[in-house]
Amino acid sequence: MTMTPEQSDLIGRLRRVLAEEAVREVAMFGGRSFMVDERIAVSALKSGGLLVRVDADRHEELLDRPGAAQAEMGAGRTMGPGWIEVDAAKITEDAGLSMWVDVALKYNRAVTGTRG
């Protein structure tokens, strides 16, 4: 997988944010996905944006946050509720990135039954 500089930077930042978690990295969705308890939590996209797995019940609420959009698997093919893409410009600050990672981990823990 050839990485863009933006993606490489985001991967490094995600590794730091997720340092306390048992994480496995996998190439998928055209990016580098971070699996926690064998379920995708987030993925660093080639654009430097972030794909986030969230609770489908919170999907619409989370789409209202700045830079959040319905994730697509190719042009015009949405990934459905529970998948959000966050624009790279909205996660340049560590607080913004950490907020989205926290949302993903909260959902991950709810579906896996683990504690953080």
Partnered with residue 40 across adjacent β-strands are 35
Q: Which residue is it, tokens 């609420």?
A: 61
> Per residue of the chain (116 residues), what is the pLDDT tens digit?
688 999 999 999 999 999 999 899 999 877 899 999 999 999 999 999 999 999 999 999 999 999 999 998 877 788 889 999 999 999 999 999 999 999 999 999 998 887 75
Partnered with residue 25 across adjacent β-strands are 34
pTM over 0.85: yes
